[in-house]
Structure 1
Amino acid sequence: MASFFESTGHGGAAIELDEFEASILRSLEVQMLELIGPPPGGESDDPLAALFAEGPSRAPGDPALLRLFPDAYGGPGAPEDPRTAEMAAEFRRYTELDLRARKREDALAVVRALDGLGGAGGELEVGPDDFQRWLGAMNDLRLTLAVRLEVSEEDADELYRLPDSDPRKPLVIAYLWLGGLQESLLDAMTG
């Protein structure tokens, strides 16, 4: 995997993905959609139901989801106090559904763009309107992989020296590749 984004010179970025790269990126984004889950009430587009839907008041039990949807108050290692827990629950209840919807839309934008390649590789262009969606979608993937791999800042250098026999190696390669994609997209769009 060696493709990275390059500036198109008109506010966009382009990348040449081979079939394997496109397939891996699409698969990861589909898995992200499964992790995030469907909107409340399923796939209904009823705006009235969405307006009155309330989100969960409890933090997710899955560590990856907790990383994607952290508590707004308190935090890891913070002392558990009832008032902070109550504020976090209330904040989550009114914001998590919107945050999930945005993350779902980001992942779907990437999947749709990759589907536009017709199941094969090819050049894919990201315009200024999709820039934030792509960055968000790749960031969500990296955060999820980091949790699954139990990566900390201290471990980052060790990822490069992981032996091929380590069962985490494919996920580590994806994690590092996504970091390169994210950085190259940012450079292409701002440089």
Structure 2
Amino acid sequence: MPGTFEPLPGGGAAVALDDVEISIIRSLAVQMMELIGPGPAEDTSGDPLAGLFSEGPSEPPSDPVLRRLFPDAYGDPEGAPRPEEAEEQRVRSAEFRRYTENDLRAGKRDNALAVIRSLDALTPAGGDDVVLELSPDESRQWLGALNDLRLAIGSRLEISDEDDSDLLFRLPDEDPRKPMVMAYLWLGGLQEALVSTLMP
């Protein structure tokens, strides 16, 4: 089981992690929460209804990682739209973003927080691997968080397709991107193993 998720009887998943792996995942999850930022409920009054009906931003984020995590809902991913369609797509994307981004951000924060809490609940094993056991719901939150972390790292590494990913395998050890590449590939392995545990 070391380093890979395996299914648990009755649902959920388990993985053996060492102290370094726990530290890396926790640090990345904390950074994800900081990047996403507080939600509108934390920004405004303590009125729960105000948070429920607050509108989100209508413009895409300026940070490329956040743009990858919260892409426009309308548009041609393969290229630029025709001029007559561009303005309509921009308006539709802005409207969609205004009513969905707050909830998307809250979901991503919740997933990252679930990762942090489950890691913090582990009992240190004194240098040995410790087994993290996740319920089916926790497994889904971990899957969402792992996906977000890979998207964020991939964006920082400017990975846009599978060919870019293949080039990363051949980076020399002295390349300053190497640690980030190793984290990207490792998280991908964890994500793939966790997906397989959740498949019926």
Task: Normalising by structure 2, report the TM-score.
Answer: 0.88
Partner Cα distance (1:83, 1:10) in 2 = 48
Matched length: 190
What letter corresponds to residue 165 of structure 1 in structure 2? E
Q: Given that residues 41 and 48 in structure 2 are in contact (C-alpha distance below 8 angstroms), is that contact kept between their aligned partners in structure 1?
A: no
CA distance, structure 1, for counterparts of residue 91 and residue 198 of structure 2: 41
Using the TM superposition, give the Cα deviation of residue 75 of structure 1 relative to its aligned residue in structure 2, in angstroms.
4.4
Alignment of 1:31-180 (within 5 A): 31-42=31-42, 46-76=47-77, 77-79=79-81, 81-118=86-123, 122-151=130-159, 152-180=161-189
Letter in 1 for 2:14: A
Range with greater deviation from structure 2 (160-169 or 2-11): 2-11
Name the TM-score, length of structure 1 as normaliser. 0.92
- Identity across the alignment (%): 60
Please give the alpha-carbon distance, in whole angstroms, between the structure 2 residues aligned to 1:108 and 1:46.
23
Shift of 1:45: 5.8
| 1:23–1:119 CA contact under 8 A, matched in 2 | no
Partner of 2:15: 15
> Runs in 1 of length 4+ with deviation above 3 angstroms?
43-46, 118-121
RMSD: 1.8
Q: Does 1:186 align with 2:179?
A: no
Encode CA deviations 1:56-103: one digit per residue, 9 max, x unaligned.
Answer: 000011111001000011145323622221111111000000000001
| Structure 2 stretches lacking a partner, 5+ long | none
SS in 1 for 2:197: helix
Please list every run of 5 or more consecutive structure 1 residues that lacks an aligned counterpart in the other structure.
none
Structure 2 distance, partners of 1:190, 1:82, is: 41
**Amino acid in structure 2 at the alignment position of 1:160:** F
- Residue type of the alignment partner of 2:169: Y
